[in-house]
Amino acid sequence: MNDKKINPVQVWKQMEDLLAPQLSFSLSDRAVYSHLLRHSRLEGKLQFQFSIPWLAHGVGVTSKTARDAVRRLIARGVLHLVERNTQAHHVVRLRLPSEVRAVRAAKIAPYRPAPAPHAAVNLEEEDFLRTRPLRQAIHAREDGRCFYCLRPITCKRWCIDHVVPRAQSGRNSYRNLVSCCLDCNSKKAEHHAVEFVRSLYRDRRLSDHDLTGRLRALDHLAAGKLIPPLPGQRHTVN
């Protein structure tokens, strides 16, 4: 099955302006994504088979660097691993920026500008994936820790996750978005947050006290009590 016609210039702009910054791509992540894009979707191939040595040679990096980049892209939902056969070939589907869950709702084009300084922000109507300052406000609210497992994370490793998954009509509201680590973002997938938090407790990644606190935090989030900080802006709530 061939891919529908793709605008390479638009895809490249979306990668540079949205995908790479939001998912904190490293240089090797960018190079690997671009190389696989060139040989798969831009060639009309929805699925693509490659080996790590081929990829490393084409990008000009070591096999370990290429393999680590592929793993990160899979964890971030940019690559979907269809098969890994006994000949060490990977069969993947590479997602375009507009197909990646983490950025799909960011209004790919045209890009809307950030709110003007001191402009009123209606928290209940705002799309918090719309601009970088709004996304940063979600990260700032969690104060450098994963909302789910409470592990300290840096800006190189954080993600934004939907508490109620997009597949279940979860919104891009501050009541439904949290900052979390890559590991939790990958493992939670389409599960509801309460179910996922309880699984962290069963895996002994949360104590009794932590579990109670996370469940309470989820209640406060849904009730609109965890308002993200937007410096220099006035908030309006319906």
Given this model, what pLDDT does residue 107 score? 46
Token pair in block for residue 79? 């690559």
Given this model, what pLDDT does residue 113 score? 45
Angle between helices 52-59 and 27-39 (to 10 degrees): 110
Query: Which domains are assigned to the chain?
Result: 8-102 (1.10.10.10), 112-236 (1.10.30.50)
| The Cα angle at residue 210 between residues 207 and 216, in degrees rounded to 5 | 145
**DSSP reduced 3-state for 221:** helix
Residues 6+ apart with CB under 8 A from 209: none
Q: For every one of its 238 residues, what pLDDT tens digit does the chain have, with 9 covering 90 and above?
A: 455 678 888 898 888 888 888 888 889 999 999 999 999 999 999 999 999 999 999 999 999 999 999 998 988 889 998 887 766 688 999 999 888 876 655 544 444 444 445 455 678 888 898 888 888 899 989 888 899 999 998 777 788 999 988 778 888 999 999 999 988 988 888 788 999 999 999 999 999 999 999 999 999 999 999 999 876 554 454 4
- Say if strands 234-236 and 158-162 run parallel, antiparallel, or are unpaired: unpaired
CA distance 233 to 238: 16
The DSSP string of 94-126 is EPPGGG-HHHHTS--SSPPPPPPTT-EEETTT-
**DSSP reduced 3-state for 12:** helix
Given this model, what pLDDT does residue 130 score? 86
Q: In whole angstroms, how large is the CA radius of gyration of the chain? A: 19
**DSSP reduced 3-state for 78:** coil
With beta carbons less than 8 A apart as the criterion, state whether 18 and 99 touch: no
Given this model, what pLDDT does residue 35 score? 95
The H-or-E segment that residue 92 falls in is strand 89-94
Given this model, what pLDDT does residue 88 score? 67
The DSSP string of 135-168 is HHHHHHHTTTB-TTT--B--TTTEEEEESS-GGG
The DSSP string of 25-51 is --HHHHHHHHHHHHHTGGGTBSSEEEE
